[in-house]
Amino acid sequence: MNFHIMTLFPDMVEQGLKTSIIGRAEAKGLLSIDAVNIRDYAFNKHQSVDDYPYGGGAGMLMQAEPVFQCYEAVCQKTKASKEGKRPRLVYLSPQGRTFNQEMAEEFAKEDELILLCGHYEGIDERVLEEIVTDYVSIGDYVLTGGELAAMVMIDAIARLVPGVLHNDVSAEFESFQDHLLEYPQYSRPETWHGKQVPPILLSGHHANIEKWRREQSIIRTAENRPDLLEKAELTEKEQKFLEEYRKNSLQS
């Protein structure tokens, strides 16, 4: 999978992404990270890409033409352009849909993905209308720019690309995958600071272990993210377990 990040700070993006799991995946050719500097497409000697907004107001606005020319250059690099198509372009904006695991899975199916990072007070609306296919937010707060948000998205999406994780199975059984938070996990030693590993995990009985883990995920989700349970697909037995857990919690 190929990620193209349109940004004013390419070094920030590359230094953050070309390390650890994502960096190793790129070295193996499983994905590529291409950070493109929008300033390279400015049409003045100072490479400025911002100007005052019409109508007044605080701050500066990124101009349409440098963003558009950068987009055109990025498109020429993609496989889609050779087929007469345009790749999806995500604009990181508080106005967008809130990013979640389902969206990560959706974007992971793309061969090419462009992410546009805004700065200042935003970007001229006209170019957004022309090139953006998806508006995405990583949360209800404001950042100084879209770079951190783009890095969050790329990390979540890239780990779903086959071969990126050392153990591909781990991507299938983690938080949010089935709208449940991940169960608690333990490693050696068996006793640490007087706390023991739950005996069930030492039993060697895989069916019972999986049942315990599933129940723990349900409990953890009910306690910390009850909103997720609305989408979780629980069996009849699991639903009864949840109801019993809630009943006991109210009594205690």
Q: Which residues are documented as binding site for S-adenosyl-L-methionine?
A: 118, 138-143
The HSE-up count of residue 164 (CA atoms within 13 Å, CB side) is 21
CB 168 within 8 A of CB 206: no
Q: For residue 148, give the H/E element and its range.
A: helix 147-158
Which residues define the annotated binding site? Answer: 118, 138-143
Burial class (CB in 10 A: 0-12, 13-18, 19+), 122: middle
Backbone φ and ψ of 61, nearest 5°:
-130, 140
- Assign 3-class secondary structure to 101-140: HHHHHHHCCCCEEEEECCCCCCECHHHHHHHCCEEEECCC
- Partnered with residue 4 across adjacent β-strands are 34, 114
Amino acid identity at 25: A
DSSP class of residue 188 equals S
Q: Tokens 């639903």 appear where? A: 239
Distance CA 91, CA 88 (A): 10
CB 38 within 8 A of CB 8: yes
CA 10 to chain centre: 18
